[in-house]
Amino acid sequence: MNTEEIITLLPYQKSFLFVDEITSITKNQVSGNYTFQENEFYYQGHFKDKPITPGVILTEAMAQIGVVCLGVFLLKDEISTDNKPQIALTSHQIDFFLPVLPNEKVTVVSEKIFFRFNKLKCAVKMMNTKNELVCRGEISGMIIPNNNE
């Protein structure tokens, strides 16, 4: 399964898809990036005349790249375009250090802590283009193949 196929299998679409590309992936780690375009819907009200990307959106980008993409890769023999997985966030703890502005590109790097009983827990961090730490933490989710029975 190549990285474009993984992105195709994600259960998201624009305006809630926060994965532009996956730059590397193995059974233990994934990295990818996303550019927050200035016309994203959440910039209109967060904050007036000085928009920054909401922390919940940064967390979602980290979860999509760092947990969901890795989970799809780990379950590649059990899922397909006809059998997309069901995804659920189970927990997260994120520390934020820097803002992300409109038109800013970020890189997410995730390392698997464990994957058992379809629960994936990862240590995830987000870096800006200056290689500065934007945020980091742990995210867990359930990734279950949809058995179409």
Task: Give 53-108 pLDDT, tens digit per residue.
Answer: 999 999 999 999 999 999 999 998 888 777 778 899 999 999 999 999 999 999 99
If DSSP codes are grouped into helix, strand and coil, which group holds residue 133?
strand
Catalytic residues: 46
Task: List C-alpha distances in Å: 109 to 43, 102, 122, 129, 136.
Answer: 25, 21, 10, 13, 9
Q: What is the pTM of this model?
A: 0.94
Domains of the chain: residue spans and CATH: 3-144 (3.10.129.10)
Task: Name residue 106's beta-bridge partners.
Answer: 34
pLDDT tens, 79-92?
877 777 889 999 99
